[in-house]
Structure 1
Amino acid sequence: MSRVAVIGTGRMGMPMVSRLVADDHDVSALGRSSDALDAIRTAGARAGQTFSEVVTPDTDVLLVVVLTDEQVREVCWAEELRGQLRSGATVVLHTTGSPSTATDLAAELAPRGVSVIDAAISGGPHDIAAGALTVFAGGEENVLDAVRPVLESYADPILHVGKLGSGQRVKLVNNAMFGAQIGLVRAGVDLAARLGLDEKSLLAALPNGSANSRALGSIARYGSVDEFTERVREFVGKDVDVVRKVTAELGGDLGPLDDLITRIGI
């Protein structure tokens, strides 16, 4: 059993809390609203409204499950939180963002003896509920191994992909490719229309052929590229914005992937 604190109890964080409690970890979580506090307590975790109520000197693992890089920095650079983390604790960043956020945080926390794992995630709340969330983890392998029993409460596979920041890089490439695959399906639907085929018939047929992919299968279940795109726009769009920014900082671009992504207006 580990003592786990969770910051970020939205659509991804709250299912993690439930799985961690079910796996007999000692869990505390931050809630800002009465509804969030009630949900945390109903899940069997301790609820707090401040960082110091949730993260204590006894915390072994801090999971950060907020939406943006800016929120990660707001949370993890707060002295109220950092002052509570003891030597030997590990911060796990599940937020998709810039690799530099993870490396900057590691440099800030290293003098305190606190480790950082950037653990970008792929999947949704249903994957967490099934214990089947994918984690792309960057950082020291021995640190990842130490927190693996916590992550295994809701994630499988947990993939070590390299040094700190590598988890974010893999996730950003993953999401750029996913966006491009949606754009590729859009191009296929446009071709079908020129050939006199309707979209629903095409999407019902293609998952049975060699053109199939996870993106195509997901779109087919919705029956429309546009409907699926609107469903994922907020999350894929945010991640594509980050990967465009990061690759530009490194002197590159997304190349042909960007041409496909622009087909779906992201």
Structure 2
Amino acid sequence: MRVGFIGAGRMGAPMVSRLVAAGHHVTALGRSSEKCEALTELGATAAFDQATVADGADVVIVCVFTDEQVREICVEADLTATMRPGSVLVVHTTGSPHTAEQVASLAAPRHVDVIDAPVSGGPHDIAAAQLTVFAGGTDRAVAHARPVLESYAEPVLHVGPLGAGQRVKLINNTLFAAQIGLVAEGVRLGSRLGIDEPTLLKALVNGSAGSRALSGIAATGSADAFITRVGEFIGKDVAVVRSTAADLDTDLGLLDTVVDAGLR
């Protein structure tokens, strides 16, 4: 397929590499000559503007860091206005379901489908084609984009209509932050009980308290070091889920307190 790509950074660059390796023709946005050169080395065609990226593409992927950047690209710069009818826009950025719905309202009269498709995993998962995608959208749109997404993701989970992907991802990250908070509190308890942190972490990963969060903390060496490494990403997503919950007239309940322990 012809794939347009915006956001070839820490997560996006390995996606571009996998797409090219899978045989897709990729045109990616590079806003500087250095970035364009890096994209060319990955096997993609580099473009300086998003209209060129979208021109003739079957699927356009947006993988930027913040929800605000998604709105700048897809709403203010009106990305879908340059996409062809029948194509699909995939938004990997974790953000508000309302943003996906706003983008879709612009895209619908142009016969462009939108999928909110936040991801779980990191660059190493992309390289191994084992990234998890939570996709929200119509059956047709997800089926159309699936061969592209499966270049770097397994599983690609269709979790419901537009916006469902963001809701599932935000819950996922809230639970992950809560698990980090629980481990951090466990480490503090261990200190008070005279158990040093490395010994405690090594023991717990082999017990019923084991989790992906605990394994990540143990591999990093300490709860504080792990929180420092992932805090920016998790903190951003937790802020979005709190805002989204407030918009829906609800809150995080008991998770709120535990999440705060994992973001200190």
Q: TM-score range by the shorter chain?
A: over 0.9
1:35 paired to 2:29 = no
Deviations 1:188-236 (A, max 9, x none): 1111111110011000110000100000000000110000000001110
Partner of 2:152: 154
Measure how far apart 1:238 and its partner are: 0.3
Indicate the residue corresponding to 2:227 in structure 1.
229
**How does the TM-score come out when normalised to structure 2?**
0.98
Q: Which residue is 2:206 aligned to?
A: 208
- Number of the residue aligned with 2:45: 46
Per-residue deviation, 1:167: 0.2
Matched position secondary structure for 1:261: helix
Query: Aligned partners of 2:259 and 2:78: how far apart in 1?
Result: 41
**Structure 2 regions of 5+ residues with no counterpart?**
none
Offset at residue 265 of structure 1 (A) = 3.3
Deviations 1:230-260 (A, max 9, x none): 0001110100000010001111111111111
Distance 1:83 1:192, change over 3 A: same
Instruction: Give how far 1:103 is off.
Output: 1.1
1-structure distance, mates of 2:176, 2:78 = 38
Q: Is the 8 A contact 1:51 1:80 kept in 2?
A: no
| Percent pairwise identity | 58
Note if 1:10 corresponds to 2:6: no
Count residues in correspondence.
Answer: 264
Counterpart of 1:108? 106
Higher mean alpha-carbon deviation, 241-250 vs 45-54, is at: 45-54
| Cα distance, 1:221–1:79 mapped onto 2, change above 3 Å | closer
Of residues 182, 185, 208, the one that matches 1:184 is 182
Other-structure match for 2:24: 25
Unaligned runs of 5+ in 1: none
1:81: how far off?
3.2
Q: Secondary structure at the match of 1:252?
A: coil
| Cα-Cα RMSD | 1.1
Counterpart-to-counterpart distance in 2, 1:130 and 1:261: 30
